[in-house]
Amino acid sequence: MNRVTIPLAVLVPLFGAALIITKRYDFWKSEWLIIASALYTVVFLFAALVQRRNAGRMIERQRAMPPGPPPEGAQPPAELMAAAKRIRRGGAFLLLSIVTLIVLMVWQPGTAFLPPK
C-alpha cells in the first residue's frame, strides 16, 4: 500500500501546481489557495510521519499477542488501547482536515484570477 499511496500523495501538489498555472490563479493573492496548500502539507506530513508510524506500532503489538481468543474477561493490553486512541484522534484530525481542504477547493472563497492575456 505504501508503494502506491505515498508516491500518489507526492504527485498531488504537482498536479495542483499545473492547475494553478493553467487556470491562471494568482497564488499569492488567493488566500484560500495558500491556506489549502499549507493545510495539505501539514496533513501529508502528519499522515506520512505520525499516523503511519502509530499504525505500524499497533500492528506490531497485535502480532506480539498470543494467537487465539483471549481468556474470558480479559482486557486488551493498555499499550494497545493507548495506540488505538492515538490512531483514532489522528484519524479525526485527518478527516476534518480533508473535509476542510475539499470545502476550500470547491468553494474557493475570494478567488483571484490573473487577467487574460
User: In this predicted model, what pLDDT tens digit does every residue of 72-97 receive, in sequence order?
Assistant: 888 888 888 999 999 999 999 999 99
Residue 18 makes CB contacts below 8 A (sequence gap 6+) with: none
Q: Where do the H-state alpha helices sit in 1-117?
A: 2-23, 31-45, 52-64, 78-107
Buried b (16+ CB within 10 A) or exposed e, 82-112: ebeebbeebeebeeebeeebeebeeeeeeee
* Residue 74, pLDDT score: 86
* Residue 87, pLDDT score: 96
**pTM metric for this prediction:** 0.81
Question: What's the rounded Cα separation, in Å, for the pair 20 and 31?
Answer: 13
User: DSSP code of 27?
Assistant: G
Name the stretches of the chain with pLDDT < 70: 1, 112-117
* Residue 55, pLDDT score: 93
